[in-house]
Amino acid sequence: MLFELTTTILAGGLAGFSFLQKQVGSSDAAKIQRICASNGLTVTEDKKKKNMQLLRRSKIRDGGRVVGTEYAYRIPLGLSFNQFVDKKDHIQDGINNKHTVLDVTFQDLKNLKLDKNLLQSIKRLLNKEKDIRKEIELSYDGVLKIKVFNEPLTTDFPYHAGLTKGWTVPVGKSRSGLITHDFEKKAHIIVAGTTDFGKSNWVNSTINTLINNKPNDATFTLIDLKGGLEFNRYRHLKQVKAYAKNVEEAKEALQMAVDKMDEVTEFLLEEGFSNVKEAGFKERHFIVIDEAADMADNKDCQNLLKDIARKGRASGLRLIYTTQYPTAETVSSQVKRNCIGRLCFVLDTATASNVVLDQGGAEKLPAIQGRALYKDLGLIEVQTPLIKNETIQTIIKPHINIRPRKGDISEKRSTTTTKGGKHTFILEETGLS
Ligand SMILES: Nc1ncnc2c1ncn2[C@@H]1O[C@H](COP(=O)(O)OP(=O)(O)OP(=O)(O)O)[C@@H](O)[C@H]1O
């Protein structure tokens, strides 16, 4: 009896210790201060070295689950947030110096049998260790916040319909939960990243979310300058009002959108509304461009895009602007200034990252497909949702309209001309007017 009692207490203590070791970053706060000091992040005042100062710590939760700890520090006067960002890898590696923790769960204990082998079983548990790698995120809002997460960010976030509602689409899973983008708050978004890291997948998940959430109100102009392969499957959807697969067709599609935009703007002005929301218009028209760099040389396209970026928001236009080559030429300053939303997959250089995010960071992302930075108040690292072809088929199937539509730019060219050389078919079909 005494033996059973002693061993049970011992096992319980073991599980408790293991749990605490995994949950409590007790020494992380001080460790971070030491690592920063040894990396020169101090200032000397009156011959005294001034280090960062811990103000508070709080638990980070995802739902009800504690996923990490946030440490808030006052940084010494004279140092900048970016100096700490530059040392992010040093801080992260430093707090991961201890690679393994005891990995005993309460389920392991439940499985223990109170027999003569109990001590042997406990010994085995004592040798059960697992590698954990903590990951950190830095932000600054007057104080430096360092979030230390107990586990790495997932590399697998499957898409499913119903993750969001209305004009809000999933951006991805961050370390502290789902991050979303609301097209009513941030009308236009730039999506950039090196080839093969997930731009098209994210655009597909966004198109499908909008079709699923707003089948009667979301409409699209799809411009696919990578040969038309990516958006071909959407071509006959009732929501797709224009589809272009080369620069000439893109120019026509953009011109139609601008004509429409100008008419709506005129209507709003006449009726005294400041935007379509106020006027009670339900429809939002998304202009989705896959590989905008391919029309960087075309002045007409550039001027139309600038116009849409500048004035489209109020008249219900939304821009999704993707490129794998972010430079001052491919992302003009007008487009950039008006695209508040930014999503950036891994890029080669800090310069390219700067074009998209106004700061470095994308060049340091791990080479994981679907891994990206979303710009909000700070930069949030996310794993974007991976959408399967079968899911796309299920979502779009009810909306396929096989009859040739006027909205197909190539077909339109040979079948219709509009008065005064203007294209009015979006007007006829969208009902925005
Ligand atoms: N969120 C994700 N999670 C896991 N894997 C992903 C994710 N997104 C994309 N991938 C993988 O990466 C591959 C490339 O993705 P995608 O075609 O979207 O890249 P891209 O950046 O658009 O490339 P390109 O610029 O060449 O078109 C996909 O086939 C898929 O296997």
Least confident of 120-134, 195-209, 349-363: 120-134
Residues in the chain: 433
Q: Are residues 405 and 285 in the same domain?
A: yes
pLDDT at 240: 97
Q: Are residues 350 and 204 in the same domain?
A: yes
User: pLDDT tens-digit profile of 94-132?
Assistant: 998 765 556 667 777 777 777 777 777 777 777 666 667
Which one is predicted more confidently, 428 or 371?
371
Q: Are residues 276 and 374 in the same domain?
A: yes
- Tokens found for residue 7: 């061993």
Q: For ligand 1, what atom is nearest to the CA of residue 204?
A: 18
Q: Are residues 140 and 172 in the same domain?
A: no
pLDDT at 54: 96
- CATH classification of the domain holding 259: 3.40.50.300
d(CA 54, CA 144): 9
Tell whether 343 is covered by a domain: yes
Main-chain phi, psi angles of 226, to 5 degrees: -105, 35
Confidence of residue 412 (pLDDT cuts 50, 70, 90): very low
Closest CA to 341 of 317, 318, 365: 318
pLDDT at 419: 35
- Using CA positions, which residue lies closest to atom 3 of ligand 1? 370
How large a percentage of the chain has pLDDT more than 70? 83
Q: Are residues 204 and 145 in the same domain?
A: no
pLDDT at 416: 35
Domain stops at, among 91, 122, 149: 149
Distance of CA 70 to the CA centre of its chain: 21
User: pLDDT tens-digit profile of 63-99?
Assistant: 888 999 999 999 999 999 989 988 999 999 999 876 5
Quote ipTM for the complex: 0.98
Q: What is the mean pLDDT of residues 203-216?
A: 98
pLDDT at 227: 79
Q: Are residues 82 and 174 in the same domain?
A: no
| Whether the Cβ atoms of residue 384 and residue 200 lie closer than 8 Å to each other | no
Q: Are residues 371 and 247 in the same domain?
A: yes
Closest CA to 240 of 279, 281, 274, 208: 208
Tell whether 174 is covered by a domain: yes
- Using CA positions, which residue lies closest to atom 11 of ligand 1? 369
The mean pLDDT of the chain is 86
- Does the annotation list 200 as a binding residue? yes
Q: Are residues 395 and 307 in the same domain?
A: yes
Tell whether 225 is covered by a domain: yes
| Identity of the amino acid at 371 | R
392-399, long-range: CB within 8 Å, 24+ apart, which pairs? Answer: 392/204, 392/208, 392/233, 395/161, 395/208, 395/211, 395/212, 396/208, 396/211, 396/233, 396/234, 396/237, 398/215, 399/211, 399/215, 399/237, 399/238, 399/239
**Cα of 173 to ligand 1 centre, how many Å?**
16
Domain stops at, among 84, 114, 149: 149
User: pLDDT tens-digit profile of 303-328?
Assistant: 999 999 999 999 999 999 999 999 98
Look up the domain containing 13 and give its range: 2-149
pLDDT at 395: 97
Asked whether the predicted pLDDT for residue 15 surpasses 80, the reply is no
Domain stops at, among 83, 116, 149: 149
| Whether the Cβ atoms of residue 241 and residue 423 lie closer than 8 Å to each other | no
- Using CA positions, which residue lies closest to atom 31 of ligand 1? 369
d(CA 284, CA 424): 17
Tell whether 159 is covered by a domain: no
261 Cβ contact partners less than 8 Å away, ≥ 6 residues apart: 307, 308, 311, 312, 315, 317
Cα separations in angstroms, 424 against 87, 243, 253, 283: 55, 15, 11, 17
Main-chain phi, psi angles of 69, to 5 degrees: -130, 140
Which one is predicted more confidently, 426 or 122?
122
Q: Are residues 104 and 219 in the same domain?
A: no
Q: What is the mean pLDDT of residues 332-350?
A: 94
Q: Are residues 177 and 323 in the same domain?
A: yes
Closest CA to 253 of 269, 273, 231, 277: 231
Tell whether 161 is covered by a domain: no
pTM score: 0.80
Tell whether 163 is covered by a domain: no
Tell whether 241 is covered by a domain: yes
Q: Are residues 268 and 330 in the same domain?
A: yes
Q: For ligand 1, what atom is nearest to the CA of residue 345?
A: 21
Closest CA to 331 of 358, 350, 369, 362: 358
| Identity of the amino acid at 269 | L
> Which of 154, 201, 290 has most ligand 1 atoms within 8 Å of its beta carbon, as the pocket-test mutant?
201
Number of domains present in the structure of the chain: 2
Q: Are residues 287 and 406 in the same domain?
A: yes
Tell whether 36 is covered by a domain: yes
Pocket, ligand 1, Cβ cutoff 6 A = 193, 195-201, 324, 369-370, 384-386
